[in-house]
Amino acid sequence: MAYDYAPFPYAAPPGLSAPEPRHPAVIVGAGPIGLAMAIDLAQHGVASVVLDDNNVVSVGSRAICWAKRTLEIFDRLGVGARMLDKGVTWKVGRLFHGSKAVYNFDLLPEEGHKYPAFINLQQYYVEQYLVERAQELPDLIDLRFLNKVTGHTDKGDHVVIDIETPDGAYQLEADYYIAAEGATSPTRKRMDLPFEGQTFEEHFLIVDVEMEKSPFETDSPERWFWFAPPFHPGQSALLHKQPDNIYRIDLQLGPETDPKTEATEAKVIPRIKAIVGDTPFRLDWMSVYKFRCAKLENFMHNRVLFVGDSAHVVSPFGARGGNGGIQDVDNLGWKLAAVLSGEAPDTLLDSYNTERTHGSAENILNSSRATNFMTPKSPIEALFRNEVLNLAETHPFARKLINSGRLSQPCSLHGLPLQSGDHPLVGQSLIDAPLGDGWLIEEAQGAFTLLIIGNEAAPATLGLRQLHITEPGPELARRYGNGCFLIRPDGHICAHFETPDTDQIATALARAKGQTQ
């Protein structure tokens, strides 16, 4: 069944008839990043208005691979379980060269985590679930569809936003303006900000087909990637399963391609038949695209903050686009809430810029390398690539050099200013573990949390949630050892203590909140 694109309701905004009070946050864009941003802020008590020029979810499946860390963040936002339930769980990537399987990797070889390595779920479902979650928070989230932002002016201590609706134009004022408009970000263009990086000349065709019979020969869905498959000579191909018996097929087309003629049924159907043979299928969606790896130098420009693809774009190999954007949201939500409430100085927002430009650079590095491996630019690059693939059939070392995408991992903030000390877990995001009937990620995210493992006495109150585990289960014991960990609201570990010393904890907490350097 094709997805039912039901439009979201539009109502004439109050600002059309009388000026509205200044809003703490206005979010531009109701894609997965903008919606997640609104929910995150709401859960920290911050009201926001979300403006979108459209009134329907993403057309086409677009972002489909949601990583474990993203699901843990979505768990905190109230949609993780629903996504897991609907999504297709997978963890194995299998690589082929020609018709031979040369290598496979398991992205989560151990048990004891609430969420799997990856699920595949169409972006339209994710947006639908996020909209429905946002609608459960009507006092804190004001969703305004068919509200197109046409201009904005940073006044120093607030931003004035020009908006057009079917009923006319109006203005809003916001303490902070968050651009979550996707890769073409009109805000970025309006501000004339350089968006620099590498453009790849290769065209890729992405097709979603619905079919009853699975093209996978394995029992469970995996990520299958081919170099030079028999059905698509000389190029690469990628196959993923989505819910509703929809399969994503991604075919490299080379640089000399006319996107208009390629994105037609006449061209696409024979390409799909070459893969699936006589199996009946229905074309659900297709698109031909080129991509870039690029980012803004700064994600924060006074009162204007950029999140998601507005701030950075990557090639899709590695699933680092949507998953990177959700980590932006996770990083920014608690900080903006702390600044707006006066709990933290506004310089705390500088750490959003520092931490997420760092994360984004890591994503760009990995996705550029994968794309370069997949699309050799010269005969010598092609020669090396092909000999890596040939050697990989026999020699394990070469298998590790095959790069079909290094899949999204949470970024480490180790050594960056809000963190204290050099314990190896400092800077990492929480590693999940079973905890009683539930999970560590359910108990230790959303607010600063002191996790104490062992028999040490809990310290006097520090205005801090404490999670004291005297008898850790085997996974928790193995993953953390004994001691005391300070966990940020976004689930990153920012300090470790051998014993829970009140003064040391208070110092690390002040540092994590940007109250001291």
Partner 1 sequence: MILEDNLGPQGDSIYTALMQAHEGLTEIESHALNARLVLMLINEVGDADRIMALLQVARTPTPAA
**Residue number with CB closer to partner 1 (148 or 369):** 369
Neighbours of 301 (CB within 10 A): 17
Quick one: which of 98, 254, 280, 436 contacts partner 1 (CB under 8 A)?
98
Task: Give the Å distances, CA to CA, from 30 to 120, 148, 180, 182, 312.
Answer: 21, 11, 8, 10, 17
Q: In this complex, which beta carbon is closest to partner 1, that of residue 174 or of residue 388?
A: 388
Task: Pick the piece of the chain touching partner 1 (CB under 8 A) from 4-12, 202-210, 398-406, 488-496.
Answer: 398-406
Beta bridge partners of 176: 25
CB of 323 or CB of 366, closer to partner 1: 366
Kindly tell me which residue out of 5, 7, 81, 99 binds partner 1, with binding defined by CB under 8 A. Answer: 99
Q: Would you call 36 exposed, middle or buried from its count of C-beta atoms within 10 A (0-12, 13-18, 19+)?
A: buried
Instruction: Note whether 109 binds partner 1 by CB under 8 A.
Output: no
Q: Which residues contact 468 (CB under 8 A, 6 or more apart)?
A: 452, 458
389 lines the binding site for partner 1 (CB under 8 A): yes
Per-residue x/- track, 124-153, partner 1 (CB under 8 A): ------------------------------
Interface pick for partner 1 out of 199, 378, 470, 517 (rule CB under 8 A): 378
Q: Which stretch binds partner 1 (CB under 8 A): 122-130, 355-363, 371-379, 507-515?
A: 371-379
Query: Can you read off the two tokens belonging to residue 50?
Result: 């979300």
Q: Order of strands, edge to edge, in the sheet holding 465-469? A: 465-469, 449-453, 483-487, 493-497
- Does position 94 bind partner 1 by CB under 8 A? no
Nearest approach in angstroms of CB 388 to partner 1 is 8
Q: Which of 154, 393, 443, 456 binds partner 1 (CB under 8 A)?
A: 393
Q: How many CB atoms lie within 10 A of CB 280?
A: 10
Other CB atoms within a 10 A radius of the CB of residue 495 amount to 25
Among positions 48, 366, 375, 449, the unique one binding partner 1 when judged by CB under 8 A:
366
CA–CA gap between residue 43 and residue 77 (Å, rounded): 8
Q: Tokens in use for 176?
A: 């902070």
What is the Cβ-side half-sphere exposure of residue 355, based on CA atoms within 13 angstroms? 32
Please, are residues 186 and 29 in contact by the beta-carbon 8 Å criterion? no
- Residue 390 touches partner 1, criterion: CB under 8 A: yes
**Range in contact with partner 1 (rule: CB under 8 A) among 98-106, 140-148, 317-325, 343-351:** 98-106
Q: Is 456 exposed, middle or buried (0-12, 13-18, 19+ CB in 10 A)?
A: middle
Residue among 9, 109, 379, 463 that touches partner 1 (CB under 8 A) = 379
Of the pair 258, 387, the CB lying nearest partner 1 is at 387
In the complex, minimum distance from the CB of residue 477 to partner 1, in angstroms, rounded to a whole number: 26
**Bridge partners of 170?**
163
Question: Are the C-beta atoms of residues 48 and 141 closer than 8 Å to each other?
Answer: yes
Size of the site for partner 1 (CB under 8 A): 29
Task: List binders of partner 1 among 214-243 (CB under 8 A).
Answer: 227-228
Assess 396 for contact with partner 1 (CB under 8 A).
yes
Binding to partner 1 by residue 369, rule CB under 8 A?
yes
Q: State CA 240 to chain mean position distance.
A: 18
* Contact between 105 and partner 1 per CB under 8 A: no
* The only residue of 107, 108, 183, 391 in contact with partner 1, by rule CB under 8 A: 391
Where along the sequence are the contacts to partner 1 (CB under 8 A)? 97-100, 227-228, 366, 369, 372-373, 378-381, 384, 388-391, 393-397, 399-401, 403, 406
